[in-house]
Amino acid sequence: MFIIMLIPLFCIFADEFHGLDWPTRFKIIKGTCEGLKYLHEGLKPPIYHLDLKPGNILLDKNMVPKLADFGLSKLFTEEKTRVTQTPIGTV
């Protein structure tokens, strides 16, 4: 089940985010990795985003990242492989 959060979110391409300090950048990267780890390892079956890019990482007012745009996402069962030979996502 997905829950939509009603909070103001900002794209990291917005002008006000171009001068981020390194601790803030690290916080964004770490939060993004934790979100992906949860999708891959914390859910049964796992969800794979398949289109992760800066435009699909939204930030709340505290600079906490939220993954967005799950249009290409896939659920994988344990029997299915995680390897694909067909490119998927944004080129």
* pLDDT value at residue 89: 58
Question: What is the fold, at CATH topology level, of the domain defined by 21-75?
Answer: Transferase(Phosphotransferase); domain 1 (1.10.510)
Query: Is 51 considered catalytic here?
Result: yes
Strand partners, 11: 58
Q: Digits of tens for pLDDT over the chain (91 positions)?
A: 455 555 565 665 555 556 788 898 899 999 999 999 998 899 888 888 888 888 888 888 888 998 888 777 666 655 555 555 565 556 5
pLDDT 10s digits, 28-46? 999 999 999 998 899 888 8
Catalytic hit among 15, 51, 60, 69? 51
> What's the pTM?
0.66
Residues 6+ apart with CB under 8 A from 79: none
* pLDDT value at residue 38: 92
